[in-house]
């Protein structure tokens, strides 16, 4: 697949060849966590396979590689050196560039979902290999663009979400089904198919929606707004559950495990984490929380149905970004801390959010530099290819510009192995990513 190394390719794109769908189905838990996903395009599957093989974090050592006919030592290349090459490449792939598309939404907010992972092999499977979909409020209502197709897709005029689209989720069953949540009107809308060409006004969510996900274990969408969780099979009507402290402005994200359990942060006493083990019907406080409190700025979690969920926040004690993980949502362990030396500044970070790519399992951080930093006008992106242990050198985006170049909380998302973000003029940016297509302009 082409690497799209110039802006020209974003404005006048070349269609990447479709090489078919990978058929590998046998995988270990470690392989799943590192991005082995059946049903992905072969080119992307191959790329993830290569990344895993040369990354020590995947559990493949030099002896194992040699046993498969490739001698690392004989070629004079160490695993450590290959890891460093990977991280340098990841830094470049964390740099968002203008796609040539400008939306009518200047709030600096968008929502991203993926259609790459199809659990089915029927005649409709081609719908689910079309990559990232980005939703936002346009003049006619909720609109969407995709990084697979000849032109942007525009939503019909509706009155359901009128201000900001903050969450987007996809149900791959049947013909496919998108649900978006946000601010204004009914705060929710949905599509009747896997092609988000037009959105239909959904049932009243009850408040400004911040997050939504599809939970295949319980065949329902789960959404959050301030102090409330809701669930619905199709967004035509929502069932409400009071969960104090969730979806506060500094409490970011919903994280889903493979067994259907969902975790989200709450601002109550701590903060604490809340977990649902029944598809959102009820919520409880987790038995454990990541160590490192108190934190400043945002508390965020992520998890896209793999075997691990993730937590990130900035410690008040040293302005370092702490990354922690859990395999059950209850017990947490610190994976790493990224201090001022990592970010290349003296004042540390003021907030950070973490997101996992639903297609590759790769982790991404978006952090905001502290006051007085030479990078203060920008945000920093970093990626981890080994489950949060090591991170690529920060790629600073927006340096020297004014305004909301990328809101580090709600102005970015990840799908198809790439970072997608927006500025306060409505310009849409995307990184090359890991095995992804480009966004198509008219």
Per residue in 179-221, pLDDT tens?
999 998 899 999 888 877 788 999 999 999 999 999 999 999 9
Output the pLDDT for position 301. 96
Output the pLDDT for position 347. 63
Output the pLDDT for position 393. 86
Which phi and psi (to 5°) does residue 171 adopt? -100, 115
The three-class DSSP label of residue 102 is strand
Output the pLDDT for position 187. 94
CA dist 142 and 135 (Å) reads 7
Output the pLDDT for position 433. 67
**Cα three-residue angle 172-177-178, rounded to 5 degrees:** 110
Low-confidence ranges of the chain (pLDDT < 50): 1-28, 30-50, 53-76, 118-127, 149-152, 399-403, 435-442
Are 336 and 350 in contact by the 8 Å Cβ rule? The answer is no
344: number of Cβ within 10 Å: 14
- What the chain holds in terms of domains, given with CATH numbers, is 92-430 (2.130.10.10)
Encoding tokens for residue 140? Answer: 């006619």
Output the pLDDT for position 441. 29
Are 41 and 129 in contact by the 8 Å Cβ rule? The answer is yes
CA dist 241 and 283 (Å) reads 8
Encoding tokens for residue 187? Answer: 């705060």
CA dist 419 and 429 (Å) reads 8
Note the pTM of the prediction, 2 decimals.
0.78
* DSSP H or E segment with residue 46: helix 42-53
- 353 strand-pairing partners: 366
Q: Which long-range contacts (CB under 8 A, 24 or more apart) does 231-237 make?
A: 231/279, 231/280, 231/281, 232/179, 232/203, 234/177, 234/179, 234/190, 235/179, 235/188, 235/189, 235/190, 235/202, 235/203, 236/190, 236/202, 236/203, 237/203
Encoding tokens for residue 157? Answer: 């005029």
Encoding tokens for residue 101? Answer: 């598309």
> Pick from 352, 288, 298, 289: which is nearest to 320 by CA?
352
């Amino acid at each position: 697949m082409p690497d799209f190394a110039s802006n020209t390719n974003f404005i006048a794109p070349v269609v990447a060849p479709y090489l078919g769908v990978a058929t590998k189905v046998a995988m270990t838990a470690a392989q799943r966590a590192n991005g082995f996903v059946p049903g992905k395009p072969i080119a992307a599957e191959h790329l993830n396979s290569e990344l895993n093989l040369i990354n020590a974090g995947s559990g493949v050592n030099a002896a194992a590689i040699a046993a498969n006919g490739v001698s690392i030592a004989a070629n004079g290349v160490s695993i450590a050196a290959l890891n460093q090459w990977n991280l340098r490449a990841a830094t470049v792939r964390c740099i968002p560039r203008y796609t040539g598309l400008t939306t009518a939404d200047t709030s600096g907010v968008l929502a991203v979902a993926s259609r790459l992972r199809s659990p089915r092999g029927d005649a409709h499977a081609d719908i689910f290999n079309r990559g990232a979909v980005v939703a936002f409020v346009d003049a006619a209502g909720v609109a969407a663009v995709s990084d697979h197709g000849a032109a942007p897709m525009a939503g019909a005029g509706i009155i359901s979400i009128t201000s900001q689209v903050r969450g987007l989720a996809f149900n791959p069953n049947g013909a496919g089904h998108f649900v978006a949540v946000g601010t204004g009107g009914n705060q929710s809308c949905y599509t009747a198919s896997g092609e988000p060409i037009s959105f239909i006004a959904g049932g009243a969510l009850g408040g400004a929606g911040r997050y939504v996900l599809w939970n295949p274990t319980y065949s329902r969408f789960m959404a959050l707004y301030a102090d409330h969780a809701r669930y619905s099979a199709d967004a035509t009507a929502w069932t409400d559950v009071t969960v104090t402290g969730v979806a506060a402005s500094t409490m970011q994200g919903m994280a889903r495990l493979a067994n259907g359990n969902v975790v989200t942060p709450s601002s109550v006493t701590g903060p604490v984490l809340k977990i649902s083990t029944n598809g959102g019907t009820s919520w409880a406080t987790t038995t454990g929380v990541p160590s490192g409190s108190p934190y400043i700025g945002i508390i965020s979690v992520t998890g896209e149905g793999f075997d691990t969920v993730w937590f990130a926040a900035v410690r008040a004690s040293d302005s370092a970004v702490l990354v922690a993980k859990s395999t059950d949502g209850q017990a947490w362990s610190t994976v790493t801390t990224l201090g001022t030396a990592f970010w290349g500044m003296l004042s540390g970070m003021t907030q950070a959010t973490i997101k996992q790519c639903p297609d590759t399992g790769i982790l991404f951080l978006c952090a905001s530099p502290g006051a007085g930093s030479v990078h203060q006008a920008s945000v920093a992106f970093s990626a981890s290819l080994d489950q949060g242990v090591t991170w690529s050198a920060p790629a600073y985006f927006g340096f020297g510009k004014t305004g909301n170049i990328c809101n580090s909380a709600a102005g970015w998302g990840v799908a198809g192995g790439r970072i997608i973000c927006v500025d306060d003029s409505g310009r849409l940016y995307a990184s090359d990513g890991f095995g992804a297509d480009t966004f198509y302009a008219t």
